[in-house]
Chain A
Amino acid sequence: MTEVTKGSLGPGEAAQPLSPALARSSAFQPKPRARVFALNAERYGLLVIWALVVVVFSIVLPHTYATAGNFSTIFGSQAPLMIVTLGLLIPLTAGDFDLSIASVLSLSAMTVAITNVNDHWNIAFSVLAGLGTGLVVGAINGILVTSLDLDPFIVTLGTGTFAEGLVFGISHSNTISGLASPLVTLTNANFLGIPREFWYALVGVVLLWLALQFTTWGRRLLFVGRNRNVARLSGINVRRMRTGAFVLSGLVAAIAGIMYAGTTGSADPSSGQTFLLPAFAAAFLGMTTILPGRFNAWGAFVAVYTLVSGITGLELLGLSTFVQQLFYGAALVVAIAAARLIGRQRAMET
């Protein structure tokens, strides 16, 4: 029967008899060593960069950077960013942008603070209210985008700005501090020398990794994101998947907001916005590593902490906080350029 199939062979394919072992290897023909190296360089490149960043700053700043306290800060303080990035990966995988995540983070943090501090709600109810805001904004995004077939970029820009306005409105532009201690302890107390929130974020990474890689939902989401037509004609309810992705990203952003409030014991109306660009930078930078070409949780993890390690070092060197913006902005552009180049190189392999 091999005779019959010969006509269907593409130029790069060999017509040799197949052994199962060969067939299992991912490129069918044994890969040249150079390609294996290139593949691994791509996959673990960012990890190496992260290590280099840490080593270089540790050598340059042995007394401030290379300390347990500093690493504890690096890991702990950026847990909300890590979590909000995880949430963002969900609509991104489904092919949709969600620009409202930072506002949802602020809104949820502020809701928790106001209900708990001003209205004296039990902290548990405050937390539930915070989660609720995320669900509501996510649902609104999802419904607007899918049932009216609107551009998610614009819709979430609008809903995000609206939510931000709400934050300033309900807080009268004030920072609200004095959150109940259980929440602060739950997020801030150290576990193995690192604030607990880091461990929560790590659990989040593992969960999202599993969900995207090893569940039917993750597989469907990926096909929805890559080609809605294929997904639809394969019997997938594209609308429901996309709506669900927005609801989830709203919910996760709200969780990040609650942790952010817990980290500082307060909520301020404006600092939440600073999460938007870093989250996108990390999501796209993470796409270049671990599972190159896909938005993936471990990639985002590596990306977040590579960026934060670099920024912390620069700040300790005495550069003022504007380097953050330079760093994140450049990282985002570099990340999408790298992703594009990887994509092109892959296209040429065929």
Chain B
Amino acid sequence: MAKPVVECEHISMQFGAIQALNDVGITVEPGTIHGLLGQNGSGKSTLIKILAGFYTPAPGARIHVNGHQARIPIDFSKKEIPIGFVHQSLGLFLDLSVTENLMVRDWSRGFRWLRWRTERNTAEGYLKDYGLVADGKTRASKLAPHERAIVAIVRAVHDMGEWGQEGAHEPRLLVLDEPSTYLSREERQKLHQVLRQIAGSGDAVLLVSHDIDEVLEVTTDVTVLRDGMCVGTSSTAELTEQDLVKMILGRSHERVDGVASASHRNGGAQAPLAVAENITGRRLKGLSFEVHRGELLGVTGLEGSGVEDLPYALFGAMSQVSGTVTVDGERLDLTRLSPQAAMHAGLAFVPRDREEEGGVGSLPAGDNLLLGVLNQYARLNILKTRPMRRAAHKEMQALQVVPPDPSLRFGMLSGGNQQKVLFGKWLVTRPRLLIACEPTQGVDVGARLELLRRLRGSITSGFAGIVSSVDYEQLVGLCDRILILREGVIVASYGPEVTKEELGAAILARKPTAQPQAVTAGPESPRGEEER
């Protein structure tokens, strides 16, 4: 009887050669919490961006909002579309007060005097409606993570408030794009309470997530996307965890062949090259593991599990970390380790963000490449520029950077070529342990394989590598061993024979389904099992 809040049909979207969405449809009914699930690259965020009017889908797409056909691309400027968005980053002004954060859009137009007491009371009232008691004068940065998320959600709900056509109260849709990725289990519970309340009042929530637990716990309906297609929509109550895993992963996976061919393993006969002990800080809760000579170790897990922190912690690039790493007998204390000291100890680090952390786009590729070894090309600190140019050129040729021109600005290279230069930058320092964070992010498919092959090839017997990535598929067949992190601890370890399905299931599932092999010593997950 009730019209769906949002009904999308025949949504397709093409980016170059990539079909990001292929005839996808989704219907969200009022009073429901609808989960949108899928792996990285399945098309979730493209769909959300179409709803937000950011992308224009291919012709033929239709979107109905409360029964009215919406113009495409969706135009929010007239405030007729009752859809609100909260993104993972929340968009709060952390150094402003809760009141200011909540009221900022009220003040975005026109001129009026502000009575701070009234404004604060209004803001506090908004929050109290959703069970959050907070002082309006508190700075947003002082709030707990879940409280920040709630503030962002309440703000989005209120910003939608006046929308809807002809003043009639129509159901609204709140879209949450992975707002709970970095929250603990208890904090999520509190957030879910808020979502239930929103749905309970007749509005609807679309919750984008890749966490099956969360979806099973809080949603009433689920839509799963895979490779840009809609796998299915179903009532959550009818699904089990296994059903969802199967829907998300599908069956049609092949191995990335040819990369893994030469797994070099010593089976622990020799002393390990590096031993990490009790690494703690940010999202990491006491990780311990070993890396052997000639080994390429993969680290994966969901976003928020600590995968994104571990490489930075190991290289001394993150503050407030404790633990030790012993490389070739040299013991490094992570509380005091600086990237400089890490480099001296033979560590190398290819960071996640090429243009912001890896290299300087406005400076020549050759200068970027040789930045770590300037001293080798200098006598009395005077640079020998000609040998430098020759060396950079040779190195770039060896790395098959196209074009291998050291004077070309780094920013002008394509993603894959930039990444090759950054690998080169660290390989020329002759490291003992190379740590790479999301090495293929933003690298197109063709270059990806070559990059990984090169990484694999660079691991020689005296040398080892660690690759961390949330994109676990690329680790299969590449790494000698793969560790899975969840909530800051290592929960499983797999050998090179692991399949993508096993790995995917182990990452997604609450309990690892496959038998974990010899998890290296580390405290077990403290999570209680009574939930859900």
Q: Are B343 and A226 in contact (CB under 8 A)?
A: no
Interface residue SS majority, chain A:
helix
B56: chain A residues at CB < 8 Å are none
Is B374 at the interface (CB under 8 A from chain A)? yes
User: Which of A130-138, A167-175, A183-191, A216-224 lines the interface with chain B?
Assistant: A216-224
Q: Which residue of B lies closest to A218 (CB)?
A: B383
A230 to B: closest C-beta gap in Å: 5
Q: Which of A216, A222, A229, A232 contacts B363 (CB 8 A)?
A: A222
A350 touching B411 in the complex, CB below 8 Å, given contacts A18-B404, A216-B374, A235-B339: yes
Is A38 at the interface (CB under 8 A from chain B)? no
Is A204 at the interface (CB under 8 A from chain B)? no
User: Which of B265-273, B444-452, B492-500 lines the interface with chain A?
Assistant: B444-452
Q: Are A232 and B339 in contact (CB under 8 A)?
A: yes
Is A30 at the interface (CB under 8 A from chain B)? no
Task: Give the A-B contact count at a CB cut-off of 8 A.
Answer: 129
B407: chain A residues at CB < 8 Å are 26
Report the Cα distance A7→B400, complex, angstroms.
Answer: 12
A236: chain B residues at CB < 8 Å are 340, 371
Interface residues contributed by chain A, number (CB under 8 Å): 43
Q: Which residue of A lies closest to B338 (CB)?
A: A237
A45 to B: closest C-beta gap in Å: 20
Report the Cα distance A210→B383, complex, angstroms.
Answer: 10
Q: Which of B315, B403, B405, B446 contacts A233 (CB 8 A)?
A: B315
Q: Are A235 and B343 in contact (CB under 8 A)?
A: yes
Q: Which of B359, B374, B397 contacts A219 (CB 8 A)?
A: B374
A210: chain B residues at CB < 8 Å are 382
Is A293 at the interface (CB under 8 A from chain B)? yes
A27: chain B residues at CB < 8 Å are 405, 408
Report the Cα distance A210→B378, complex, angstroms.
Answer: 13
Q: Are B317 and A23 in contact (CB under 8 A)?
A: no
Q: Which residue of B lies closest to A293 (CB)?
A: B362
Is B413 at the interface (CB under 8 A from chain A)? yes
Bits for A53-77, please: 1 = Cβ < 8 Å to B, else 0.
Answer: 0000000000000000000000000
Is A147 at the interface (CB under 8 A from chain B)? no
Q: Which of B381, B385, B414 contacts A13 (CB 8 A)?
A: B414
Is B171 at the interface (CB under 8 A from chain A)? no
Q: Which of A229, A235, A350 contacts B412 (CB 8 A)?
A: A350
Q: Which residue of A lies closest to B378 (CB)?
A: A216
A135 to B: closest C-beta gap in Å: 21
What are 5 pairs between A and B in contact, CB < 8 Å? Answer: A7-B447, A10-B417, A28-B403, A219-B371, A237-B338
B residues adjacent to A (C-beta < 8 A):
315, 317, 338-340, 342-344, 349, 351, 356-360, 362-363, 367, 371-372, 374-375, 378, 381-383, 385, 393, 397, 400, 402-405, 407-409, 411-417, 425, 443-447, 449-450
9 extra A-B contacts, CB within 8 A, seeds A28-B403, A215-B383: A7-B450, A8-B414, A8-B417, A216-B381, A220-B371, A220-B374, A226-B360, A229-B357, A236-B340
